[in-house]
Amino acid sequence: MYYVATIGILVTMALALCRALLGPTVYDRVLAVNMFGTKTVLLLSIIAFLYGRPDFLDLALAYALINFIGVLAVLKFVQDYTLRQRSQAEEP
């Protein structure tokens, strides 16, 4: 039964990768990264059980905790970028 769930998650990963490759905007790619991160957490937790070593859930826990830092960094990057554009537009 774990196999069915694993296959479902792997197919979703492939779909997310398609979205990342197609774009068209960069935000679609960030969305794909975020989806991929969630799916990785699920995949790692299921594979830990498939292997019969549930003590390796630490990995999925690490991803669950820090995976959204990348998206927050994107928000900060875009915010700084637009602020810079605006201040440059005001200068001349």
Partner 1 sequence: MITLFGVFLLCLLLITAIAIVREQNLFAAVMLTSIFSLQMAAIFFILDAADVALTEAAVGAGVATVLLLGALALTTNHEQEVKRHKAMAVVVAAFTSLLIIFATVDMPRLGDPMAPAHQHVAPWYLAETPKQVGIPNVVTAILASFRGYDTLGELFVIFTAGVGVLFLLTNSPSSSPSRLPSADAQGLRHHLVPRVVGRLLVPFIVLFGLYVQFHGDFGPGGGFQAGALICAGLILYALIEGESAALLVVPRSLLLALISGGALLYLAVGLAGLLRGGNFLDYSVLLSDPVAGQHLGILLVELGVGLTVTGVLLTIFHAFAAREQRS
Partner 2 sequence: MEIFGLFNYWMFVILLMTGIYTVMSRTNLIKKLIGMSIFQSAVFLLYISMDKVDGGTAPILQPGAVDVIYSNPLPQVLILTAIVVGIATLSLGLALVVRIHEAYGTIEEHEIREQDRV
Partner 3 sequence: MNLELLATPTSWVLLIAGSAFVLIGGIGALRMPDFYTRMHAASLTDTLGTILILAGVIVQAGVSLAGVKLLAIMVFMLLTSPTAAYALANAARLDGLAPTLSKPDPGDS
Binding region for partner 2 (CB under 8 A): 51-53, 55-56
Q: Please give the span between the terminal C-alpha atoms of the chain, in angstroms, as a whole number.
A: 64
- CA-to-CA distance for 8 and 46, rounded, in angstroms? 12
Tell me: does residue 79 bind partner 1 (CB under 8 A): yes
Length of the chain: 92
Q: Which of residues 35-64 bind partner 1 (CB under 8 A)?
A: 36-37, 40, 43-44, 47, 50, 53, 55-56, 58-59, 61-63
- CA-to-CA distance for 60 and 56, rounded, in angstroms? 8
Judged by the rule CB under 8 A, the positions of this chain that interact with partner 3 are 1-2, 4-5, 7-9, 11-13, 15-16, 18-19, 22, 25, 27-28, 30-32, 34-35, 38-39, 41-42, 45-46, 49, 54-55, 57-58, 60-61, 64-65, 67-68, 71-72, 74-75, 77-79, 81-82
Tell me: does residue 8 bind partner 1 (CB under 8 A): no
Cβ–Cβ under 8 Å, residues 33 and 21 = no
3-state secondary structure of 25: coil
